[in-house]
């Protein structure tokens, strides 16, 4: 993988991480278009640069981590189910799912249909919660459980947590922001686990490539977060569902 490949993938990661369209799925499909083989380094790269995008949340929401203890407790309660499931299924995810383009395409397609149907079915209730700090711990844990479905590439961590939160009667802006916050320990743990298991296999040049992708994804994600918060004030997620379906169909046509 070249530095240019790293920059391209970093941009894609930064744009897609917080949108309900699956950053992992986009990285896997983009890597195929770039002609990059599914090596162990590429799989680790696709996991690690997501942390770069996630760190933009720390910059924008640092008060939620270092000032609001109640918010932090809810984040940890939601993180636990994801951490347990992710640790148990790590070998399956990296050994099979991250190299399976058909899994990605089916996840994008079915997830797109689910987003569209959900938006037409779901109506936000007047009593929907808008305060993360007072969220019941059970609700937080269930959102974490919903997030764990996103270990399947193409599902989208953002989509899983947002739809889960909406079903649990949270306001749209509230669950989107909670999805941002929950991403920090989730991706920090995923990256830490992967680097711990794989770091001895990488060369110095590969670490330089990884660092470039990490920094690019961080910078681009800052803008993506602000875009999504502005977008949801006036729009539903239907357009993202349509986009997912189009991407899946286009890539099936390319692959076939």
Q: What is the pLDDT of residues 214-228, one digit of tens each?
A: 999 999 998 898 888
Is 126's pLDDT higher than 90?
no
Residue 101 Rama label (left phi>0; alpha psi -120 to 50; beta): alpha
Cα 170 to chain centroid distance, Å, stands at: 19
**Beta carbons of 65 and 58 less than 8 angstroms apart:** yes
Instruction: Please give the pLDDT value at position 247.
Output: 95
CA distances from 21 to 74, 76, 128, 157, 170 (A): 25, 25, 25, 9, 21
160-195 exposure pattern, b = at least 16 Cβ within 10 A, e = fewer: bbbbbbbebebbbebbbbbbbbbbbbbbbbbbebbb
Stretch 137-145: mean pLDDT, rounded? 95
Global pTM value = 0.85
Instruction: Please give the pLDDT value at position 193.
Output: 76
Stretch 87-96: mean pLDDT, rounded? 77
Comparing 201 with 14, the larger pLDDT belongs to 14
Q: How many CB atoms lie within 10 A of CB 200?
A: 7
């Amino acid at each position: 993988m070249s530095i240019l490949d790293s920059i391209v993938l970093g941009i894609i990661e930064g744009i897609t991480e917080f949108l309900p369209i699956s950053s992992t799925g986009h990285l896997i499909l983009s890597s195929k278009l770039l002609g990059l083989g599914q090596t162990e380094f590429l799989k680790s790269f696709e996991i690690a640069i997501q942390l770069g995008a996630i760190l933009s949340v720390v910059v924008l929401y640092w008060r939620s981590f270092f000032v609001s203890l109640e918010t932090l407790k809810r984040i940890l309660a939601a993180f636990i189910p994801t951490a347990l499931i992710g640790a148990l299924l790590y070998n399956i995810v990296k050994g099979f799912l991250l190299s399976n383009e058909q899994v990605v395409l089916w996840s994008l397609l079915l997830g797109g249909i689910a987003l569209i149907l959900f938006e037409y079915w779901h109506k936000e209730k007047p009593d929907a919660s808008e305060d993360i700090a007072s969220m019941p711990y059970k609700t937080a844990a269930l959102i974490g459980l919903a997030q764990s479905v996103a270990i399947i590439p193409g599902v989208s961590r953002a989509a899983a947590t947002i739809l889960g939160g909406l079903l649990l009667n949270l306001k749209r802006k509230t669950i989107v922001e909670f999805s941002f916050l929950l991403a920090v320990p989730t991706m920090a743990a995923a990256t830490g686990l992967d680097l711990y298991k794989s770091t001895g296999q990488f060369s110095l040049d590969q670490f330089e490539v990884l660092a470039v992708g990490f920094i690019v994804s961080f910078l681009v994600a800052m803008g993506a977060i602000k875009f999504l918060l502005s977008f949801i004030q006036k729009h539903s997620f239907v357009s993202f569902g349509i986009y997912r379906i189009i991407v899946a169909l286009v890539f099936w046509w390319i692959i076939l």
